[in-house]
């Protein structure tokens, strides 16, 4: 069994799952401001998910680095944007949830940035898959 392939699948699953928890959880906190200040129970889950997002994101980037080099001009640019906007969003979310009473305005900015991060991730994935396909060398020809 290719354990690296299994690890990649699990890592990607955790990355998407943590993204869902962070983006969706904060979105609902912004939407239900009366509950947001009492989001203490959610804080460990949120911060734990952010930590896992960084770890699995680093692993995924390491695994896919060879693919990024297939089309460096574009893929490195989009990956860099994804990384920078994601880090900015994480900083905003951590600052907004640092105190016992969450800062709703900062959380709203954080979730807006997180939606941009998801868009950049989707773009990056599509471009990377396309670059990989174009650089696959045929071994034999089939009719």
Partner 1 sequence: MLEPTSSHFWSNLLFLISRYLHIVCTTLLVGGTLFYEMVVPIAIDDLKAPQQLSVFGRARWVFRWIVWLSAGVLIISGAMSIYRHISIYDVDGAAIVNQVSGQNEPPTPRARLAMRSGWWMAAHAGAGLIAVIVALFLTLGRRLPEHPVRWMRMNLIILLVVIFLGSATRHVRLLVTESAAKVGMKQLQSAPHPPSP
- Interface residues toward partner 1, by CB under 8 A: 5, 8-10, 12-13, 16-17, 19-29, 31-32, 34-35, 38-42, 45, 71, 73-74, 115, 118-119, 121-123, 125-126, 129-134, 136-142
Which CB sits closer to partner 1, 35 or 84? 35
At closest approach, how far in Å is the CB of 91 from partner 1? 20
Q: How many CB atoms lie within 10 A of CB 95?
A: 13
Q: Which two tokens stand for residue 32?
A: 């239900």
Tell me the C-alpha distance between 50 and 53, whole Å. 5
DSSP string, 27-93: HHHHH-TTTGGGGGGGHHHHHHHHHHHHHHHHHHHHHHHHHHTTSHHHHHHHHHHHHHHHHHHHHHH
> Which C-beta is closer to partner 1: that of 7 or that of 95?
7
- What is the nearest approach in angstroms of partner 1 to the Cβ of residue 95? 20
Q: Which residue has the tokens 């800062």?
A: 103
In the complex, minimum distance from the CB of residue 87 to partner 1, in angstroms, rounded to a whole number: 19
- Output the CA angle 104-86-22, nearest 5 degrees: 50
Minimum CB–partner distance for residue 12 and partner 1 (Å): 5
Q: Which is nearer to partner 1, 13 or 87 (CB)?
A: 13
Nearer to partner 1, 3 or 34 (CB): 34
């Amino acid at each position: 069994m290719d354990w690296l392939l299994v690890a990649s699948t699990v890592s990607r699953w955790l990355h998407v799952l943590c993204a869902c928890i962070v983006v969706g959880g904060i979105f609902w906190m912004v939407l239900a401001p009366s509950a947001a200040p009492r989001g203490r129970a959610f804080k460990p889950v949120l911060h734990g998910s952010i930590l896992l997002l960084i770890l699995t994101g680093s692993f995924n980037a390491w695994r896919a680095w060879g693919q990024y080099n297939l089309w460096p001009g574009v893929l490195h640019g989009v990956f860099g944007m994804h990384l920078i906007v994601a880090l900015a969003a994480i900083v905003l979310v951590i600052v907004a949830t640092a105190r016992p009473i969450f800062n709703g305005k900062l959380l709203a900015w954080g979730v807006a940035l997180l939606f941009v991060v998801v868009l950049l991730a989707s773009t990056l994935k599509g471009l990377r898959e396309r670059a990989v396909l174009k650089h696959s060398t045929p071994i034999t020809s089939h009719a």
